[in-house]
Structures are given as C-alpha cells and as structure tokens.
Amino acid sequence: GAVVSQHPSWVICKSGTSVKIECRSLDFQATTMFWYRQFPKQSLMLMATSNEGSKATYEQGVEKDKFLINHASLTLSTLTVTSAHPEDSSFYICSTPPSRSGSAYNEQFFGPGTRLTVL
Amino acid sequence: AQTVTQSQPEMSVQEAETVTLSCTYDTSESDYYLFWYKQPPSRQMILVIRQEAYKQQNATENRFSVNFQKAAKSFSLKISDSQLGDAAMYFCAYLPNFGNEKLTFGTGTRLTIIP
C-alpha cells in the first residue's frame, strides 16, 4: 500500500517560534493531503486540506495565519505552526484522502504523526 | 451533518477472550462507508476493517468482524481471541460515498488487554 512519511516525528520548540512539519508521499503522487490534529486521549480533528497548485482549504475555526499549509509538489505537503504557543502542543497527522475507482474504495493512508511540544 | 458516537471510552478484556466495541452514527445518506481504525501506542493509524453500507453481509478480517445494523445505524466491532497486540485506541469512522471525502471519527475506545 501507499506510504506516507512525516518529519520530524517529535519536535520541541520555544514559545514564539515557528515549526515546519513535512508530509511526504513516498511511492505515489498526491494532489491532496489532509492535516489532522489530535489532542491527548482525543479523536482526530481535520484541520485543513492541502491542494497541490492551489490554496489550502481550512475547516471552520482553524486559524489560517497560525497554521500555514503549503503543497509544494506532488510528493510534499507542509504544515507550519507560526508563533507557536503551549496550547498548540498536539499530535499532527497527515493523510491521503480516500479515493474511489467506480464503486470501489481505495484506502486512506495516514502518516505516522508528529508530536509537537511548545515550551 | 454526520456524527459518530462511541459510548465506551474504555474497555478491557482478558487475553484470548472476545470483546465488542460499540459505535453508532447518524446520517441521512443511504450510501456510505464505515471503518474501524486502530491507533496503537505508536500512534500510527491502522485500518482494521471496512464496511460498505450497500452490502448486507458483515465484513470480516481474520479475528475482527463487525455487526452492521443499517436501520439502527449501529456498527460494532468484535475482536475474537484477543491478543496483547490488540491493545490500542479504536476509532469508528464514517465516510459518505459521494461528495465530501472527509472521514468523521468517533471519540475512540481505549482497549486494554489483560494478560
């Protein structure tokens, strides 16, 4: 199956700094990536959808200026947390969207996630 | 809007025994997909099983099976012969078949396996 990687797997930063998280599709081209946020012991919440060659679309309540998403190529999507604060500490996961071929469904593949800790 | 509810925040089961995790959902659609995802301590999301709503037959994957009750909008996961490696968070998820391709996740059930 498709492989999605994320880098870094864990990052600690000081409050006020910016952090970039990379999401790469290793063996396929992805025109779209989903970005999720997961607080401890909670479910995944979709933050935004990155689109290669166009602007990202954000879910309601997600600050566009805080979470900058760029889909630089067909294999790379990035999430930059700008001016990070302790409340931004969370687990961030990217994934491919599900795809369909006729009536068949193709699996959605998740990256391994990035744990962000803001001091 | 679709909602997915998992009413059991935590469950535990003796190793080798059987456990059932509950999930209910709300939708006005007739055609959709339902999933169970596993998130072990590594936090990598792993697809456990998938059910197409138009299929009456319950999906099965080795020790994992579902009880899909479309009219009741219920989608439970049964794990047979529980193993230590089954310990994880389990998320139920809903995906409409057309249009919006975004999964709606439930709140999760943490499963503990007792040796």
- Residue A1, pLDDT > 80, answer no
Comparing A1 with A73, which gets the higher pLDDT? A73
Query: Is residue A7 scored above 80 in pLDDT?
Result: yes
> Which residues of chain B have a CB within 8 Å of the CB of A42?
107-108
Smallest Cβ distance to A43: which of B33, B42, B106?
B106
CA distance A94 to B111: 24
Q: Which residues of B touch A91 (CB under 8 A)?
A: 43
A91-104: average pLDDT: 80
- Nearest chain B residue to A95 by CA: give it: B45
Q: Are strands A114-118 and A67-73 parallel, antiparallel or unpaired?
A: unpaired
pLDDT higher at B43 or B2: B43
Rg (alpha carbons) of chain B, rounded to whole number: 14
Instruction: Supply the pLDDT for residue A104.
Output: 63
> In chain B, which residue ranges form alpha helices assigned H by DSSP?
none
* Any A CB within 8 A of B50 CB: yes
Work out the minimum CA distance from B12 to partner chain A, whole angstroms: 16
Task: Give the mean pLDDT of chain A.
Answer: 91
Query: Residue B11: is its pLDDT beyond 80?
Result: yes
pLDDT of residue B96: 86
Closest-CA distance, A116 to chain B, in angstroms, reads 14
Q: Nearest CB to B91: which of A43, A91, A97? A: A43
> What mean pLDDT comes out for the span B69-84?
97
Contact between B12 and B112 (Cβ < 8 Å): yes
